[in-house]
Structure 1
Amino acid sequence: MWRVKEAKARFLKWLQAHAEHNGVLTLSKASLVMMSGSDLQDALLLPEGSVALVTNSAESQSWAHFSMETYSKNLKTKLLGHTVLFAEIVTSTMDLLEGLTVHLPRDMGLLVVATQQSQGRGRGRNAWLSPLGCAMFTLNVQIELNSKLGQRIPFLQHLVALAVVEAVCSLPGYQDIDLRVKWPNDIYYGNLMKLGGVLVTSTVLGSTFHLLIGCGFNVTNSNPTVCINDLIQSYNLQHNCSLQPLSCAQLIARTVNCLEALIDNFQQGGPESVLPTYYKRWLHSGTWVRLWSEDGPEVQVMGLDHNGFLQVHSKEQGVVSVEPDGNSFDMLKNLVVIKTH
């Protein structure tokens, strides 16, 4: 836990240096107001869009749906996720980091976790439902443009979705829980139901991508679809075993662990270092789909190309790539479609 304490001290020092004299740090979509736990009653008087940032909370503190101690015990990273901001309810975890991360030093490893979001965001203009029991976080990651991943940045959303699946399936005994990655950035139960998704936004400053990774996945909430603990319970009944349910804090920490490892592997070995694991977990190998409409050309899914785009094969055009931005699989109609608004 010393790493978390050290990161917190660095972050507070940075905040104090950059906040206004009244302890307010103004961001693009929110304001952080630094205060001690004893002053929390004043938070009720804060203007809309302002969030109280308690600077003296204990590293072992727990809330009803998130245990900081559990998170810290499970976090094994060198950098990512060492500085944690936790909120019971926010508009969006993205809002608390937008406009902030480009100014942060590289060694902060900042992560925002929320119990609920009132305005959670998905891809495009989609809303993300945020019930209690859903693991929701935004992680700040910095990637150099001239690195292997920086030159193929669309891969990052695939790595995040894969990290969520690996966070569960790399646990001893949990390897057969049927979690899957759906292109480009969803987490699924088999090919049946969506359990979570990923949203990545980026800002380029100098030679660095400053990326915000927003992620949400169902852990203990059975609605609106199913959750990871439902799958574990079902697996226990089918196989007469007793795998323990998992918590949001545990799985957020393990996801960050897996993501850092996947990024490190990619930076050293490029796409080939992660694609075997990705293909093991994804839904689509050999799938036949139609492009754009029910009358569109029928193609077979081949995999990902060197940029992280979907690669398909058609008799007419051979192998072509479909960019993930704005496209998705319609699992019911078996199409690759362009999203419209």
Structure 2
Amino acid sequence: PPMTTGSSGCEQDDRCYIAGAFDQNVAIGDLDGDGHHDIVVPHDNAYVSIHHGTGEAFDTSDDLPSVKTPGVRYLHDLALTQQGWPDNEATDLQAHFTNTPPAIADLDGDDQYDVIMIASVQNASQDDRLKGVALWAIHGDASRLAHFETPIHFPDYLAGLWDLGDNMVAATNQVTVADIDPTRPGPELIFAGFDGRIHAVDATGQELWFMTYTQSETVLTNGVAVADLSGDGLPEVVFNSHSLSDDESSLFILDAGGNVQQEVPLPRRGSMAVPTIGDVDGDHQLEIVVSLKDAEDQVESVLVYTVPGSSDNCLLWPTGRGNLLRNGWVRNAGD
């Protein structure tokens, strides 16, 4: 049945507000520890559906105005979310999850899995949308984690909200979850903003670094992969860019501090896909696989780079959605 009826439980108060979903806007993992998979689906609006595998929506925390999670409006001000509506639609900020693949991970170290998302930012009336991105971290009941009571806002805007044209779509607001700084508790969160930068934030919401990969309004990236390429026990951050014009895109490799280690030009319009990192040929050395945007007859459509001296024992986030299942779920050790 439609999600607002039947097993979802939304009919209890008729306050589930449903819209479509795009790209890879699904994460699957065990949020409540019952041994069964749950589903997180951000919408093309300011709402997010969190469901058990049975289809029943998660109940919300007691301080939220709806019974079920698809009825929670993600206004930046927690008091307004608890109220259920903005005070001033022209100035109050809210999330928009059109291109938001979520992640599931234990961010705060309590052995319970959380939901982490990057959303575009707009005012509540939706007529001022070039307000950058924000980082959200919530529990399965849509309550907010400590340090994320207000989402972490990166307001600068260069490009990414809108399609570039010529079959170049808007940026994917994807967050990567990986422990790139062992001196800090919890994993780090790495993502591209709408500002031409890659950002790294720790589990308490503190920005560790940013790296500017472009100053062009026609160059974007859709996210990062993370693996130890150098064999030194510290992971590298790997991503592609893509561009509206030829010969403006690259494959980037950063160290865990955000410093550029390699920048390799990519042909034509680059790659819209997050690189995949793995052992392609079975020699226990890693390859970086880049799927190119433009295919030409009898011309390469995929590039495969071998990383000499690497090993395949530290793949923290090796695909665009975290693993070979592409489910966005970072499991705790032992799970």
- Greater RCO between the two (CA within 8 Å, min separation 6)? 1
Q: Shared fold by TM > 0.5?
A: no
Report which of the two has the higher share of helix: 1
TM-score in terms of structure 1 length: 0.31
